């Protein structure tokens, strides 16, 4: 039965059936932990520390924290407001805040769909490693597997060899061909083929990148001069050179787990003929990852809201343990020094600022629709100002703290291997699935440390994936509310579809496809969405409306004191900074590569198509919306149609009207239907907040 409720003075009636019950968080902590878990993800552990290393160490912190203030916090607060004020997901909220920009909802869904596919594949990798870690000797601990070649380097075996050298005066003991060679007579085959065991290539000079053949004459120097091979053959042989060492953990990842590299060292490609078919182990892990997502989301936010109590806090426990252990390792100070010592010359490099802005988007998970989705389940008067500061500061401090743990580990590994820190610093999968697995083999109880580390990665990825899938799910249910009673089947169908579409990522060439998706789906669309969101709030919806909405929800009068300073960001710096970065990234575009492998033109074309599918949905939907409005009233003209479609609808304010109506006479605000619009009035005789003309489209009115 339809029930009607008078809002405020009875001048507006809202049918409850029009406000579909989407559910709310059972407690404030549910949302806060979900938002924190969504923001704090795998990028905090592996991407941020590497970017610091790449972009001048401590110098990178300057643009990083500036971008946090200019882009991160304003956009984060904006998205929480959009979701909480309207109680709508990203698929439908933009068509109500400004119908001409309804394409942003589709941009969110498209971008999150591509990201969700490969993000769950990374979670599947962590599941694989967790199960592989339940052995007394970790499978990457030694080089005695069939997939290891002569260049395989095991830290554990090497340290055992060093221990033997320390106890024997004859220093002819060397580590070569995966083993410790203890007798001179065993070195004859190596002397006979010095080129095989000590040969490599190097650049002529820093100015001349031409590669020339060379022979290692000690563990670190490769000599291009003629006669170097004879010199090595006649002299005392030495350990496998640093430049030729292939980590046992790296070969385990590439040859056993991903199978992107054959046992002879040949690499697969993204070409269909060489892409391969799904491997059964990764397929089962991916299936397990999607089943876990299904079980956690099938009951809605009430179930996922409880799961995050563990998934959002467990990584902090493990990270704290790893930090304490890491900073006490020999050589940790070398890594920390490498992490923090600034290189001021880097500040003049535009790419450093680009990386800082992109990392803020990755780190805070803004512009993907996930924050709008999570906030849409909040109660109307939840304090988003408090939540914004807690999550933004907490997330960035997590990244900063993780850097100490990561670089302490890299300093330790550099000390163990006798190389510089820069030679063991790797990005992405190299850091999480090569450097750290190498580390745990040198710690007491390596099996325990491996399980803890990959469990941490699993939980870091899981709560981020919750929000990604919930965004897509909310979009489907908001667009087709008649499916809400069948939510279990919708969740199941979504997870099944994600599993099937993710099967190519389980192939030997899957990691190349993953890098392609990461490059094109997760950068440009998010930057574009964030820029358009800021422009809508500043120049279409109205900056003063935005400030009034925050006050209405939070009751915090400090927002009016901050109105002018915040206007500098929302109406100028923030959208301008994102626009400059987006244009600069397009201007500096280069086809994607991975090491020496250059992606073919058709693969880059698919990447552009993925990115543009999200970006172009905004202008295309805008054109269709304006044309449809014009055809309804052609006599008014095309510009009148545009002006009409850019205004927020009455549905935008229905959740606010209902919330204030539920409070009755205790509410400070009331809403009245005036024509096709809901207009907000402020009750009583309290003085109105200050108004700033020129930037707003205010609907706040007063009865004095």
Q: Which residue has the higher pLDDT, 408 or 3?
A: 408
pLDDT of residue 601 exceeding 80:
yes
Question: How confident is the model at residue 634, as a pLDDT?
Answer: 86
pLDDT of residue 81 exceeding 70:
yes
Q: What is the pLDDT of residues 554-600, one digit of tens each?
A: 988 899 889 999 999 999 999 999 998 888 888 888 888 887 788 99
Q: What is the pLDDT of residues 455-512, one digit of tens each?
A: 988 988 887 888 889 889 888 888 888 888 888 899 999 999 999 999 999 999 999 9
How far is the C-alpha of 563 from the C-alpha of 695, rounded, in Å?
11
Rounded to whole angstroms, what are the CA distances from 325 to 295, 333, 613?
A: 35, 13, 46
Question: How confident is the model at residue 429, as a pLDDT?
Answer: 64
**687 CB contacts (<8 Å, ≥6 apart)?**
none
How far is the C-alpha of 528 from the C-alpha of 516, rounded, in Å?
19
How far is the C-alpha of 120 from the C-alpha of 458, rounded, in Å?
10
Q: What is the pLDDT of residues 219-244, one digit of tens each?
A: 888 999 888 999 998 888 999 998 88
Q: What is the pLDDT of residues 23-33, one digit of tens each?
A: 677 777 888 88
Question: How confident is the model at residue 306, as a pLDDT?
Answer: 67
Question: How confident is the model at residue 303, as a pLDDT?
Answer: 59
Q: CA-CA-CA-CA torsion for 440, 446, 452, 458, nearest 10 degrees?
A: 60
The DSSP code sequence of 438-451 is HHHTTSSSHHHHHH
Q: Which residue has the higher pLDDT, 599 or 432?
A: 599
* Rg for the chain, CA atoms, rounded: 29
How far is the C-alpha of 127 from the C-alpha of 304, rounded, in Å?
20
For the chain, residues classed under CATH 1.20.1740 are: 4-18+26-135+267-488+517-621
Contact criterion met (CB below 8 Å) for 74 and 569: yes
Q: Which residue has the higher pLDDT, 369 or 292?
A: 292
Question: How confident is the model at residue 417, as a pLDDT?
Answer: 66
Q: What is the pLDDT of residues 110-144, one digit of tens each?
A: 988 999 999 999 999 999 999 999 998 899 988 98
User: What are phi and psi for residue 70, nearest 5 degrees?
Assistant: -80, -40
Burial 600-609 (b: 16+ CB within 10 A, else e): eeebbebbee
Residues in the chain: 704
pLDDT of residue 74 exceeding 60:
yes
The CATH class of 4-18+26-135+267-488+517-621 is mainly alpha
Laid out side by side, the sheet with 222-223 consists of 199-203, 211-216, 222-223
């Amino acid at each position: 039965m339809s029930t009607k409720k008078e809002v405020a003075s009875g001048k507006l009636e809202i049918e409850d059936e029009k406000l579909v019950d989407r559910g709310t968080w059972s407690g404030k902590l549910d949302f806060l932990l979900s938002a924190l878990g969504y923001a704090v993800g795998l990028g905090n552990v592996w991407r941020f520390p590497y970017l610091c290393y790449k972009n001048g160490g401590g110098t990178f912190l300057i643009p990083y924290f500036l971008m946090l203030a200019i882009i991160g916090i304003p956009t984060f607060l904006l998205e929480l407001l959009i979701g909480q004020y309207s109680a709508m997901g990203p698929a439908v909220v933009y068509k109500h805040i400004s119908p001409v920009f309804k394409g942003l909802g589709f941009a969110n869904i498209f971008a999150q769909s591509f990201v969700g596919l490969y993000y769950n594949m990374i979670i599947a990798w962590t599941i694989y490693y967790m199960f592989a870690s339940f052995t007394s000797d970790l499978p990457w601990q030694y080089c005695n597997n069939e997939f290891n070649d002569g260049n395989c380097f095991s830290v554990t075996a090497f340290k055992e060899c060093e221990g033997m050298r320390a106890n024997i005066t004859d220093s002819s003991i060397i580590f070569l061909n995966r083993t410790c060679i203890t007798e001179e007579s065993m070195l004859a085959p190596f002397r006979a083929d010095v080129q095989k065991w000590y040969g490599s290539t190097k650049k002529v000079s820093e100015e001349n990148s031409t590669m020339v053949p060379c022979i290692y004459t000690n563990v670190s120097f490769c000599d291009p001069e003629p006669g170097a091979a004879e010199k090595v053959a006649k002299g005392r042989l030495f350990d496998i050179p640093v430049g030729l060492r292939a980590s046992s953990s790296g070969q385990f990842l590439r040859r056993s787990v991903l199978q992107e590299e054959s046992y002879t060292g040949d690499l697969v490609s993204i070409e269909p003929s060489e892409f391969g078919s799904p491997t059964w182990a990764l397929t089962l892990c991916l299936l397990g990852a999607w089943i876990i997502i299904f079980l956690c989301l099938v009951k809605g936010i009430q179930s996922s809201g409880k799961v995050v109590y563990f998934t959002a806090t467990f990584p902090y426990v493990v990270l704290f343990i790893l930090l304490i252990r890491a900073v006490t390792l020999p050589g940790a100070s070398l890594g920390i020094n490498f992490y923090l010592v600034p290189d001021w010359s880097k500040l003049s490099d535009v790419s450093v600022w680009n990386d800082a802005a992109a990392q803020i988007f990755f780190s805070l998970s803004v512009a993907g629709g996930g924050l709008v989705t999570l906030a849409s389940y909040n109660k109307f008067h939840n304090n988003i100002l408090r939540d914004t500061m807690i999550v933004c500061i907490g997330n960035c401090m997590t990244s900063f703290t993780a850097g100490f743990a990561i670089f302490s580990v890299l300093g330790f590994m550099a000390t163990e291997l006798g190389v510089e820190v820069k030679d063991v610093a790797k990005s992405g999968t190299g850091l999480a699935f090569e450097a750290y697995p190498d580390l745990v083999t040198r710690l007491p109880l390596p099996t325990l440390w491996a399980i803890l580390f990959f469990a941490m990665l699993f939980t870091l990825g899981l709560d981020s994936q919750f929000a990604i899938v919930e965004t897509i799910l909310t979009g489907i249910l908001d667009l087709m509310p008649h499916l809400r009673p069948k939510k279990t089947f919708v969740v199941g169908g979504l997870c099944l579809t994600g599993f099937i579409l993710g099967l190519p990522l389980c192939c030997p060439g899957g990691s190349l496809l993953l890098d392609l998706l990461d490059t094109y789906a997760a950068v440009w669309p998010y930057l574009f969405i964030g820029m358009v969101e800021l422009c809508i709030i500043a120049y279409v919806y109205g900056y003063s409306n935005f400030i009034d909405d925050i006050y209405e929800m939070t009751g915090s009068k400090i927002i009016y004191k901050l109105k002018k300073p915040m206007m500098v960001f929302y109406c100028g710096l923030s959208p301008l900074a994102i626009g400059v970065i987006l244009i600069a990234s397009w201007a500096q575009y280069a086809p994607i590569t991975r090491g020496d492998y250059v992606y073919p033109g058709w693969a880059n074309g698919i990447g552009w198509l993925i990115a543009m599918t999200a970006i172009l949905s905004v202008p295309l939907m805008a054109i269709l919306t304006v044309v449809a409005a014009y055809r309804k009233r052609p006599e008014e003209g095309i510009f009148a149609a545009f002006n009409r479609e850019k205004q927020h609808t009455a549905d935008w304010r229905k959740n606010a009207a209902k919330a204030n109506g539920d409070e009755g006479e205790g509410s400070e605000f009331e809403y009245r239907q005036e024509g096709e619009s809901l207009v907000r009035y402020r009750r009583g005789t309290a003085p109105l907040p200050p108004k700033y003309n020129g930037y707003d489209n205010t609907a706040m009115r007063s009865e004095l």
